[in-house]
Structure 1
Amino acid sequence: MIKMPQSNARFTIVSIFFIALFTALGVRIIYLHTAEKTLITAGRRAFGRVKKLRGSIVTADGDIIASSIRGKRVFLRRGEQLTAQEKTLISNLEPNLRWPEKSDSRQLLIRFLSPEDAKMLMRQPVAKKLEFIPAQERIYFDEAVYAPLCGFTNYENAGAAGVEFGYNKELEGGQGEIIEIDATGRLLLSNDPNMLHAGGDSVKLTINGRLQKLLYQEIDSAVGRYNARGGYGIVMEPHTGKILASVMAGPDAANLLKNPLIADAMEPGSTFKIVTIAAALENGVVTPEDKFFCENGTFEFAGIKINDHDPYGWLSASDIIKFSSNIGASKIGSLTGKHALYKTARDFGFGSPTEVKLPGEARGLLKRIDRWDNHSLLYISFGQEIAATPLQMAQSFAVIANGGVLVKPRILDSVIAANGKKAHKSKTEKIRRAISKKTADTVKEMLFQVMEGGTGERARVPGWEICGKTGTAQKFDTKAGKYSEKTYFSSLGGFFPKNDPRFVIFIALDEPQEYYYGGIVGATAFQRTVKAIIDIYGVPPGGSAAAPQRAKKNET
């Protein structure tokens, strides 16, 4: 028997090994190129920060305001360039795409691609040049109706304004994490295997969707009717602080980066007289029957001049509120004194944010008492030299309606966990007693008379007892250094039913044209809002109501 040299045997074994190795690699490459839905790019890996699917924002009656859907964010890989044909393909998915040049870093092509389009693109040969990172897109419903309240998210899908910002932590459900995926989107490395399928909490608001839409229609109509710069509307429960509707309408409403109902403070004008009369009654310096001479419409005192819209003579304190005499209010304020008026205004919430947990809230303006000049007491008594947001004004009417307690407004009903269970339920927060119940009831009666033959009579609804106060505030012209004779902030606030108030309503128009008295420009929207509430909540005629149930020309 002839033995094969040892070196030849080794050569044969090594040759067989390499032939088998290259055969296996060839088969593997052919498989990767031909297997359905899989490309050689599947071996490529990508990293990206991924968050849970952002939770939804919903109304108390179940309307979805905002929700998110999953998809992909598409990047061009580092050092890759696209052919004209590949660009055409991707342009069909993202028409306004700006094509990046070849770069040492990956380049964003498509911020969000729907699951269907992503699946199609991942099957194309161009996919080997791309990275597909899990992403999500926020979708908003009835944007005009909810935009200032709801807010919006930024590029990273984090809340940037409104409810989106105020409750971002709950909606996100966590900070997210860096994950590793392959080109098909399969999760390779993550601390949370369920990251791509988990969701944040949903936020349920106190807003009644049906009322919100009806109120928006009324404010939008009023803005158009009087060619106003903007319009505001709020409905809230005086005893609980729940905001049932909160809208802003106007040419720029949908594009605002803030919520004017909490961010813009205006001089309220005559609606502030509810605080002036409350302070006087609380401190025992006047009674409703006390009479004051209203100077036949013009009052000059210490170098200043105060005018009324009509030449009133003697008026009782009650009639000063009913007919909205600035001169009468200034005299009541003078008797009350600056310390008592300042304290009452503070107790009503003026000069402090409501802390409604929405971003950008203004505190309004209530000057420290040591900064009042010799005329401040007179001016503040009828709503000048003081400023408040629409929400602060609604909150002040709630003090009268609920018997004298300052209640914190709230927009959150509850937080709903991803599993459908309530994770948190908001509660009523009573901040302090602002005035006695006796004082509140006395002012309530005065405000009822405003609607029954006073400056608010255009807004009354026959059969229902409604309380209210009108306001027409001249806006201060900073360039001229004086109050304008052409621009006004006009409002009408109130509540009903009189004997058991369940709903506070505040309506305002910024710079209405031609007509500008609050009792005129705010009347229709106020009246129709009352009727909408009656229909939605089933409020019976008269001055009382059971607890709300789910739906079933010369005036100041």
Structure 2
Amino acid sequence: MRSADLRRSGLRAKGVGAVLLVVFAILTVRAAHLTVIDGRGEARGSSQTLTVLRVPGARGAVTDRHGAELAITIDAPSIYAVPQQIEDPRATARALGKALGRSPAALRARLEKSSPFVYVARWVTPSQAKRIDALALAGVGLVQEPRRTYPHKELAGPLIGFANIDGRGARAIEQMEDPWLAGHAQRVGVERDARRRLLPHEGFDPRRSVGGDVALTLDAPLQAEAEAALAEVVGQTGARGGVVVVIEPRTGDLLALAEAPGFDPNEFRTTPYPATASGAFLAAPEPGSTLKPVVVAAGLQTGAIEESQQFDCEEGFFRVPGKTIRDVKPHGLLDPAGILRVSSNIGASKIGFVVGARSHHEMLRAFGFGERSGSGFPDESAGLLRSWRRWRKVDHANVAFGQGINATVVQMASAMATFATGGLRRAPRLVSARRPPGGDWVPTAPAEERRVLQPEVAATVLSMLEGVVGSEGTGRRAGLAGVRVAGKTGTAQKLVDGRYSDSAYRAWFIGAAPADDPRFAIAVMIDEPRGKVHGGGSVAAPLFARVATAVLARSGVMTEPEFGLSKLARVDLPRPRKTAPRKPASAKPRARPVARAESPARKVAPPNVSAPPRAAARVATAKRRPPPELVRLGDRVLLPNFLGLTRGQVQTLTRSAVFRIQLVGQGLAVEQFPAPGTIVAGASAVHVRFEEGS
């Protein structure tokens, strides 16, 4: 009996063991089915992993020189699908189309692809993402991806460029600094929840892999003011567009680069790619008469000419083989300073002939013409400078006054900076510092200096260029009250169908100030101003003065243009006003130190200048008066009249203002910039000067 029980017990044990083996085998096969058949890529040890996403890394920030953020990365929802998990592509496409406002047919084509993973829509709005999540569609999921955004929209758009939808730099700084800015892509497993929705593995963080930050040399508030001034001139003259470039000569730092038309990098997907190019770096028009200082410098440097040497300008007509060279007005004997002052084509040509083609060409090369500036900007144009061996006499004459040679606006600003530094040339610097993720800022070094001119030659030419901005010069509308300015005008005929047009021009001005200790160099180019007023002295020079006023104000020198932009419609060039006489060449600029609060890095926001600043307001004798009210226009302020107020009254009035107030002196306010009635916002600076006993 006992033996039979043992046999029956053994049989039962064997039966249970067999059943357990069968169950284990079924579970093993099922696990293999889930892992191998349903698996789409790398599993993370989970039987629910269906596919693997490749999510771009978050890009680092781009800031201006003060830390104002110009390009940042935010998280944005994107919709994706695993086609093999979708049972009814038609119904799913209809539901997605209704929620997203897109064509169901196009969406269905995506859902029926044989690939293991497809994007349905990238960077959808939060409300769209919420609707999709509520639908709980099988085989459809949401993932947070890095999205590049540009908080200040069009501000410096052509300089900053944009990053494409896959997080790669595609233009300008974004492209140039892509190896530093780009984060590393992450591979993320996708799971299916109980409702058959697709979800990234728990713990996925789109910002886990972020790139480094880049600080530009750009001054965002100055950039905003330059853009506003340029837009005003382009609008007044009906021009096709224009460019303003501001460089700090001693360092080569690019402080502002304004272009019209610009573009909003946030809208890169709907903006034609050619429209996103930087005309300052990529376009190379003929510079016209702004090139004449180079031929004069070549003559003085080589000893081919003397400062006092006289050249016969032939009363406006000079015949060379193949061409008659003309001047706008007839002139007889002129020295080099006079040739620059009245912008004589004939005089410049004759200096070029005395210098010789080879020496002239070598000087142009030394200034950087015919080669890229060295800034590193992507796809930068080198311009065009043909070999001197190919110059006929007429070609040499043309090059002397800026025809038959092409240069970018950046090259022209750099050339002016070379005169401003005593003959030393630096490549423009665009990036001031870089910061690795979680690290500290590491400054970049300015480019090495290269001597182009002897200091005395550079000083002589700069002094001659002061005469251009004097009362008898073509550039007198670039004048600034109480500040010495050196500069050169240019009016370049455009080539139309292979011929120089009599109706299409580019207006140029290059200049530096203060002339005895230049703090900046500016190049201005206006493309095809319409109407009778199209010359560099009439159109570009006043714009230079406007931008120069803003630059000087930021360094503590308060001045104003001697001519406003509102008079651009006038054909004649009025003489400088007697109310603000220019000082003699030996006088020092009227420098007024301004107390400015230090701004913490990454906290200063660039301004939102909705109306460009006007010339400074002044009173001859200030009288005490009650303070006005501060008129607010949303996030902007209508600037009140501070003249006649005490320092304390101005401080009280502006305590809660959005702009920065800079007060100089004691007593009553006798001068303010911008003028009363200007609309200001953001980090715009307002300067007020006080005097005792007024």
Give the TM-score category using the shorter length.
Answer: 0.7 to 0.9
Are the equivalent residues in 1 in contact too, given 2:158–2:263 (CA < 8 A)? no
Task: Quote the residue 2:464 is aligned against.
Answer: 446
| Aligned positions of 1:218-237 closer than 5 A | 218-237=229-248
Q: CA offsets, 1:269-318, max 9 Å, x none?
A: 00000101110111122233222221111212223111111112222211
| Structure 1 CA distance for aligned equivalents of residues 68 and 434 of structure 2 | 15
| Aligned positions of 1:45-60 closer than 5 A | 45-60=50-65
Task: Quote the residue 2:299 is aligned against.
Answer: 280
**Structure 1 SS opposite 2:57:** coil
CA separation of 1:47 and 1:369: change in aligned 2, threshold 3 A: same
| Structure 1 CA distance for aligned equivalents of residues 87 and 9 of structure 2 | 55
Task: Quote the residue 1:27 is aligned against.
Answer: none
Q: Offset at 1:144? A: 2.2
Letter matched to residue 62 of structure 2: I
Q: Offset at 1:512? A: 1.2
2:511 to 480, 494, 498: 494
Are the equivalent residues in 2 in contact too, given 1:491–1:507 (CA < 8 A)? yes
Greater shift, 347-356 or 310-319, is seen at 310-319
Note if 1:464 corresponds to 2:483.
yes
2:356 to 329, 337, 347: 337
Letter matched to residue 396 of structure 2: L
Q: Offset at 1:368? A: 1.0
Q: Offset at 1:12? A: 6.2
Note if 1:348 corresponds to 2:357.
no
Q: CA offsets, 1:488-534, max 9 Å, x none?
A: 11111101011110111111111111121001111332111111112
Task: Quote the residue 2:524 is aligned against.
Answer: 507
Structure 1: stretches of 5+ with no match in the other structure:
23-40
1:214 to 207, 218, 225: 225
Superposition RMSD in Å: 3.0
| Structure 2 CA distance for aligned equivalents of residues 330 and 367 of structure 1 | 17
1:475 to 478, 488, 494: 494
| Structure 1 CA distance for aligned equivalents of residues 518 and 88 of structure 2 | 67
Are the equivalent residues in 2 in contact too, given 1:280–1:332 (CA < 8 A)? yes
Q: Offset at 1:222? A: 1.2
CA separation of 1:100 and 1:545: change in aligned 2, threshold 3 A: farther
**Structure 2 SS opposite 1:232:** strand
| Structure 2 CA distance for aligned equivalents of residues 364 and 170 of structure 1 | 28
Task: Quote the residue 1:378 is aligned against.
Answer: 397
| Aligned positions of 1:96-495 closer than 5 A | 96=102, 98-101=106-109, 102-105=112-115, 106-113=117-124, 118=129, 121-122=132-133, 124-126=135-137, 128-174=138-184, 176-182=185-191, 183-186=198-201, 196-250=207-261, 255=272, 256-422=275-441, 424-453=442-471, 454-477=473-496, 479=497, 481-495=498-512
1:539 to 538, 557, 563: 557
Letter matched to residue 545 of structure 2: Q
CA separation of 1:186 and 1:118: change in aligned 2, threshold 3 A: farther
Q: Offset at 1:157? A: 1.1
**Structure 2 SS opposite 1:54:** coil
TM-score using structure 1 length: 0.87
| Structure 1 CA distance for aligned equivalents of residues 432 and 590 of structure 2 | 25
Note if 1:521 corresponds to 2:555.
no
| Structure 2 CA distance for aligned equivalents of residues 125 and 20 of structure 1 | 34
Are the equivalent residues in 2 in contact too, given 1:172–1:200 (CA < 8 A)? yes
TM-score using structure 2 length: 0.70
Tell which has more relative contact order, 1 or 2 (C-alpha 8 A, sep 6+). Answer: 1
| Structure 2 CA distance for aligned equivalents of residues 57 and 474 of structure 1 | 38
| Structure 2 CA distance for aligned equivalents of residues 443 and 81 of structure 1 | 79
| Structure 2 CA distance for aligned equivalents of residues 83 and 161 of structure 1 | 38
**Structure 1 SS opposite 2:381:** coil
CA separation of 1:359 and 1:177: change in aligned 2, threshold 3 A: same
Number of equivalenced pairs: 526
**Structure 1 SS opposite 2:78:** strand
Are the equivalent residues in 1 in contact too, given 2:51–2:82 (CA < 8 A)? no
Structure 2: stretches of 5+ with no match in the other structure:
27-45, 192-197, 265-270, 560-587, 599-659, 663-694
Aligned identity (percent) is 30
Q: Offset at 1:251? A: 7.7
Task: Quote the residue 1:30 is aligned against.
Answer: none
Letter matched to residue 211 of structure 2: G
